[in-house]
Amino acid sequence: MIRQLRRQRKLTLARAAAIMRTSAPVLSRKERGQDNIERTDIRRTIEAFQLTPWEAYELWLAAGFIPEPTVSQPRACDLRELAETLLPHLPCPAFIIDELWYVWAWNQGIEEIWQVSQTDSEYLHVLDDLFSERVRGLLGEDWDRYITQAIRVFYNKTIRISNDPAFRELLTFLVERHGAAFIDKWNAMQRGEYMNEWLPPVDMGGTLVTHNSPLGPIEYMVMQALFHFPQSYELVMYVPFGTANQMRYQQFRTTMRPHQLYFRDMPDGSQQRSLGS
């Protein structure tokens, strides 16, 4: 794979060895599998060949190592490739978030339920949007239960990065934007309110969302799963819960444009765009 990556970049063995701070004979033996590949070799290859996060991730796995996190910000095309591979082909509403729960992409199913493109936030965050009047109206009397559960899952998902300045900035933003309402719900989560209505913090299993579709109410189970991609993105899916909801959703889905895909404020600074089928 190192040989393939080198040739794709039109680097000679001597040139590649020079920028990898090794010799051509040593690099040749490693390319031919005659010398062991060490972690240092992978790091040097990533740096010298300027690999994308995805290429680096694949190279770590090919070498039999647990991938190390990328030191660079993921490019927009990496996220687009991930979103375009997953979202349009899922049979249920779904969206992609990063480790801080900022929303980057979603499919037509989520757009039909939440009208995400109508939010006026510059950067769309799950909790920020849940506190909006638009979503409160959509959830109705279920809003209190749902927001408390969502905050609890957010807390458990992000506790490992709670010392990250970006996480602290996010909490400051949420407090400044929503004031006592956010603090009250955060405290309710800490007190364990609604504890009997949710499952352990491995995902958002146990959280039910009701959508009043034109064909009648549809209940979804919210499922959240981490994918081991080079970027810290997660896929969140709304799975119709039970036979009746699945049948109603399938009827509702026939009215959608299932391959429609939406992006919002990509990491490279480009604006949201919608991809048609």
**Boundaries of every domain in the chain:** 2-62, 76-275
| Annotation: CATH topology of 2-62 | 434 Repressor (Amino-terminal Domain) (1.10.260)
95, β-bridge pairs: 106, 236
Residue 79 near residue 267 (C-beta atoms within 8 A)? yes
- If one compares 12 and 226, the residue with the highest pLDDT of the two is 12
Backbone phi and psi for residue 260, each to the nearest 5 degrees, phi listed first: -70, 135
CB under 8 Å to 269, separation ≥6 — which residues? none
pLDDT at 94 over 90: yes
Closest CA to 46 of 81, 30, 70: 70
- If one compares 123 and 220, the residue with the highest pLDDT of the two is 220
The model carries a pTM of: 0.64
Convert the pLDDT of each residue in 29-45 to its tens digit: 999 999 999 999 999 99
Is it true that 2-62 and 76-275 share their CATH fold? no
Its CATH architecture, for the domain 76-275, is 2-Layer Sandwich (3.30)
User: How far is residue 62's CA from residue 27's CA, in Å, rounded to a whole number?
Assistant: 17
Convert the pLDDT of each residue in 163-211 to its tens digit: 788 888 999 999 999 999 999 888 877 776 655 444 444 344 457 778 8
User: How far is residue 248's CA from residue 261's CA, in Å, rounded to a whole number?
Assistant: 22
Alpha helices in 63-98 (DSSP H): 76-86
3-class state of residue 167 by DSSP: helix
pLDDT average, residue stretch 42-49: 91
pLDDT at 229 over 70: no
User: How far is residue 151's CA from residue 186's CA, in Å, rounded to a whole number?
Assistant: 7
Task: Give the burial string for 192-215 (b: 16+ CB within 10 Å, else e).
Answer: ebbeeebeeeebbbbbbbbbebee
Convert the pLDDT of each residue in 100-113 to its tens digit: 889 989 999 999 88
Tell me which of 75-84, 151-160, 181-190 is least confident.
Answer: 75-84
- If one compares 135 and 195, the residue with the highest pLDDT of the two is 135
